[in-house]
Amino acid sequence: MGELVPGQMLDQYELLDTLATSGMASIFRARDTGDGKIVAVKVPHLQYASDIVFHQRFLREEHIGLSLDHPGIIKVFQTKEKSRLYLVMEYVEGELLSSLLQREHRLSVPAAIDIADQLCDVLIYLHDRNIVHRDLKPDNIMILRNGRLKLMDFGIALDAALRKITWTGLSQPVGTPDYMSPEQIKGSRGSARTDIYSLGIILYEMLTGRVPFQGENVYAAMQSKMLDNPVPPASLRPDLSPQLQEIILHALERNPNDRFKDARELKEALEHQDKVILTDRTSAPQKRSRLALLLWKLRALAMGLPSAKK
């Protein structure tokens, strides 16, 4: 049994073409020969399908996907007996938010707020069910032709009902570095406010054309996230209102307890910016203390991460 390619059959699914390929899996556009429906089939590469940790995460992704029913989330379909590990999802036509940002660099204020508002609706639905996505990023957000969005990829999502198989690492960071929260970098399981932080990163990027924490490599960027305050977005885009800047910086607070308490509160702020109370969050970024830098290096060492350069 080798790697699959378009033109082959996978049980009842005829693989038509490749939609995407990552280091761990390929996603194919396929036809269900049973009913003729066009679907998307996610197939892990063989070297990962036999890995017990990856296998658990993949089964968890399917379990969570089957339990969800929201217009802003890619549907996962129940399948018959499988000959190998794979996942069948609804097929939608659209453009990844990451591709849109690459082409447009940054979005209009109304467009960015609309996407953030839709993501809040999705997070409200998920968090009410004790599910934390933990990997919110533009690569996991599909923008449809009608302007609506679909969130996908629940491979590292946290489900409180599946505690025993949800967390397979002890101290290693889980997520995508640019969009990870500080607590994820520390190796925490994460909470609903972890998704709030990632949404703040996405909103910052949609409006400014860049993520708030950068560095010469991924470890320097992670170090910056742990030690620095973000550059106020209005300094990069002067047409942003003080209220919108306040919302973004509130979502990006390093301490989870200082962020919006939930997605409902963030949605309320986005939709009623006239009621947003301004604070001193826009003050100049704090200077790194020697103690904070030392603590970061010790934490990075404990997690097995290369130390970032100063």
- For 239, residues 6+ apart whose C-beta sits below 8 A from its C-beta are 109
- Candidates 146, 154, 160; CA nearest to 174 is 154
158: its two tokens: 């946290």
State which amino acid sits at residue 28.
F
Residue 137 C-beta-side C-alpha neighbours within 13 Å: 15
281: its two tokens: 């969050």
Hey, what's the torsion of the CAs at 280, 196, 187, 232, to 10 degrees?
-30
- Return the biggest CA–CA distance within the chain: 64
Cβ–Cβ under 8 Å, residues 165 and 56: yes
Cβ–Cβ under 8 Å, residues 72 and 149: yes
Cβ–Cβ under 8 Å, residues 218 and 291: no
Hey, what's the torsion of the CAs at 259, 264, 265, 268, to 10 degrees?
140
- Candidates 131, 29, 24; CA nearest to 10 is 29
Cβ–Cβ under 8 Å, residues 133 and 184: no
State which amino acid sits at residue 103.
R
What is the distance between the alpha carbons of residues 228 and 149, in angstroms, rounded to a whole number?
Answer: 32
- What are the strands, taking DSSP E only, across the chain? 9-10, 13-21, 25-32, 38-44, 87-90, 94-96, 131-132, 141-144, 149-151, 158-159
Instruction: Give me the active site residues, please.
Output: 135
